[in-house]
Amino acid sequence: MLQDGTLERSRAHADGVGRQLLEETLRYSRVRDYRGWDYCDGMSSLLLRGLPVENKWLNLAVQESAKRAPINIRPYLLIEQRRNYKGTALFAMANRNAARLFGEERYEDEAIDLYEWLLDEQIEGYSGFCGGHRHYIQHLDRVGSPEDPDVVSTSYAVQALLSGADLDERYPEAVRTTPEWVRNELAYTPREDGTARMKYVPTHGDEYYTLNAVALGARMLTDIGDHFGDEDLIEMARRLFDYVAGCQTELGGWMYRDPPESSHLSMDGHHNGFIVECLLRYGAATGSDRYADSLDRASEFYREVLFNPDGSPNWDETRRYPQDIHAVSQGILVFTALGDLEFAGRIVDWALGNLYAGGGRFYYRKQRFYTRRITLMRWCQAWMAYAISSYLLKRADPDSSPVCGL
């Protein structure tokens, strides 16, 4: 067992390494203007767009090949490198956390530039503030448009802009209209049992609901309601959370969609992490223990089933691989929010040993027999920058709250 002095030196070393890691991760992204490839960006291929035909199966072939290839074929497909809306929100919060950690104005200036970009790049034509990925996506039944907003991207932009409320009142005022978008275009619908549901994107029907998206929408309403003291928004969030909690499985996790048979994913790591974090945020904002039992079961499932003792992530409740950097970053955020900094640090250490290329650059996935040495700006860099900054801020001051956090 470490003596107190040795423990303090160990912590100091860890914080020094952590600071360097965060600085390098942000530097890698900043010098590239936060532009890069993304998870599902295949239809941004200049080769594909230059063809004189429009074909769903060709679109899917290019899109899925770029996403699933063991090496990065995006350069050969001439896929454009862009800023991602959600990724920019994460970078804004990471820079704001870095400013609080290091006391350096340059990080705050960087965050302000990113806040302004979020305002400039919001999607117009809807009844409230919203945002989206801003590139085409080929689905089986339709083509997603750059003008399609989604609740997940919007929730992180809202979280980011609220984090800048002390810098400029325009930031929180911009997102004050988001609940109208939720009510109107996302069809927020109260149900007879006291719960409520909402869509992921306005174009979705009512055949299924994406549970992590509902939870993130509920957190978004919680954040706005908490900031403006609007109890009606807190009540809207409570109804959504009641619906999500009611979909929890006996194992303690959540399928990707309700009904479960509509899910193309099982109880995977980062989507379950979203729900746990959102429920924690509701409790922190309201002081309510309404979801304490659900959180107890979910937290146990998350740690014992979706992670291993060495800090490595599992893909879902039955599969170890692939081990994804997004599951890693979400695990750091969840265990930081739970106050388990020791385990959050274990996940950071595992990532450094298995998915870190050096120079602030993270890889996408570790398969069973090889590593996909691809760096995606939002999926890898933005998530890890935000996760590491939140973890370090909590280490520096256990009573502190990372931006709009817990």
For residue range 78-106, what is the model confidence (pLDDT) as tens digits? 999 999 999 999 999 999 999 999 999 99
Write out the two tokens for 272: 């379950």
- Looking only at the bridges linking them, the beta strands covering 196-197 and 209-210 are unpaired
> How far, in Å, are 46, 50, 78, 239, 381 from residue 70 at the CA level?
21, 25, 17, 42, 19
Supply the pLDDT for residue 11: 54
Supply the pLDDT for residue 2: 34
CATH topology for the 4-41+80-396 domain: Glycosyltransferase (1.50.10)
The closest of 287, 312, 316, 281 to 402, measured between CA atoms, is 281
Query: Model confidence at 400, in pLDDT bands (50, 70, 90)?
Result: low
**Rounded Cα distance, 240 and 195, in Å:** 6
**Rounded Cα distance, 97 and 397, in Å:** 12
Domain coordinates of the chain in residue numbers? 4-41+80-396
pLDDT tens-digit series, residues 44-85: 999 998 999 899 999 999 999 999 999 999 999 999 999 999
Supply the pLDDT for residue 140: 85
pLDDT tens-digit series, residues 14-54: 577 789 999 999 999 999 999 999 999 999 999 998 999 89
Is the per-residue pLDDT at 7 higher than 70?
Answer: no
The closest of 93, 85, 90 to 38, measured between CA atoms, is 85
Residues whose CB is less than 8 angstroms from the CB of residue 106 and which lie 6 or more positions away in sequence, other chains included: none
pLDDT tens-digit series, residues 235-277: 999 999 999 999 999 999 999 999 999 988 999 999 999 999 9
Beta bridge partners of 361: 358
- DSSP 8-state code for residue 314: P
The model carries a pTM of 0.94
Is the per-residue pLDDT at 5 higher than 50?
Answer: no
Is the per-residue pLDDT at 342 higher than 50?
Answer: yes
